Structure 1
Amino acid sequence: MKLLNLNITFEQYNGVSELNEQDAVLCENAEKALSSSYSPYSKFRVGTAIRLASGEIILGSNQENLAYPSGLCAERVALFSIGSAYPYAVIESMAITAQTDAFEILKPVTSCGGCLQVMAEFERKQASPIEVIFYCLNGEVLKVPSVQSLLPFSFVEDRLGAKA
């Protein structure tokens, strides 16, 4: 038996104002994405902005449905839009934030497991890291250099993509 440890490295900031201009603009766009959230049931709005290597920024917001499993998280809305419209684009960075009128969110909201798996697939497909910024409106920012560090045991089975 071996006992192994995993460590992740990330940057922590007091607010968006401490980020470089490119990352601050990405966060501003994630905030803009909040306005298109369809969240009448949870009233919990999530916005995502993704910067492509071309410099283009793609937005996504959570989209709920009365039949809860039929909704989709902001991260997957944006990622699947990129997969559909820009199948060969390289993703450099993504910013994710959340907002609700029910209470003040005091810590950055992180992605769910399903979104992390999809993010990991995009990172694997492009064979380069995707930087992820989680931030709290008017508060703390966490910046992670790669999805791999967030989901080190993502589902991977190379034989599923192999030709028979």
Structure 2
Amino acid sequence: MTKKIEIKVSLEVFSKEEWTEEDAGLIEKARSVLENAHAPYSNFLVGAALLLEDGNVFAANNQENASFPVGICAERAVLSYAMGNFPHVRPLKIAIVAKRRLDGELATVTPCGLCRQTINEYEVKFNHPIEILMLNPQEEILKASGIDQLLPFKFNDLNS
């Protein structure tokens, strides 16, 4: 008999009037580093801000390289910095803001596959989900309660 595995995923959508003060601060921190992104090839700017359990907030942006696999996404840049320097402090939330340099418009993005797996690594390490906030052009926050909402069949789930 054939088995079927189903997983339901969902995002919550929050209008600007519904943002919490904490979420608003994290989105603004991510937005503040957009223009510093090194994206001469794609002209696609991404900023990310990470809130740690101790209240520290760190931000980073994407850094491209002519040898495309060498670049790093904003999400992995901020997670790498925070976890390299504060390896025992649990990450709580990550906010992502993106825009196209050429038209200046915000773009709705979710973390790429590499970033999703990186977020998963820290959820596993701390045995706790990391909220993911993504800003869209309508100034709404798309909120995932954890990486399982964006990566339902995670690498570590295959044998569990």
- TM-score, length of structure 2 as denominator length: 0.90
Q: Deviations over 1:102-144 (max 9, x none)?
A: 2465652111001100010011101111000011255332101
Amino acid at match of 1:70: V
RMSD over aligned Cα atoms: 2.0
Q: CA deviation at 1:85?
A: 0.7
Distance 1:35 1:107 in 2: 14
Structure 2 gap segments, 5+ residues each: none
Partner residue, 2:46: 46
Q: Deviations over 1:42-83 (max 9, x none)?
A: 111000000000111011100001111110000000011012
Query: Structure 1 residues 133-142 or 38-47, which shifts more?
Result: 133-142
1:29 aligned residue: 29
Moved over 6 A (4+): none
Q: Residue 5 of structure 1 aligns with which residue?
A: 6
Q: Is the 8 A contact 1:108 1:140 kept in 2?
A: no
Q: For 1:136 and 1:61, locate their aligned partners in 2 and report how far apart those are by CA, in whole Å.
A: 17
2-side partners of 1:151 and 1:45: how far apart? 23
* 1:83-98 matched pairs, under 5 angstroms: 83-98=83-98
Q: Which moved more, 1:98-107 or 1:88-97?
A: 98-107
Query: How far apart are the structure 1 equivalents of 2:5 and 2:34?
Result: 40
Q: Secondary structure at the match of 1:156?
A: helix
TM-score (norm 1): 0.88
Contact 2:75 2:115 in 1 (8 A): yes
Structure 1 contact 48–94 (Cα < 8 Å) conserved? yes
Q: How does 1:96-115 map to 2 (within 5 A)?
A: 96-103=96-103, 105=105, 108-115=108-115
Where does structure 1 lack aligned partners over 5 or more consecutive residues?
Answer: 158-164
Give me the whole-angstrom Cα distance separating, in 2, the residues matched to 1:131 and 1:65. Answer: 29
1:134–1:142 Cα contact (<8 Å) kept: yes
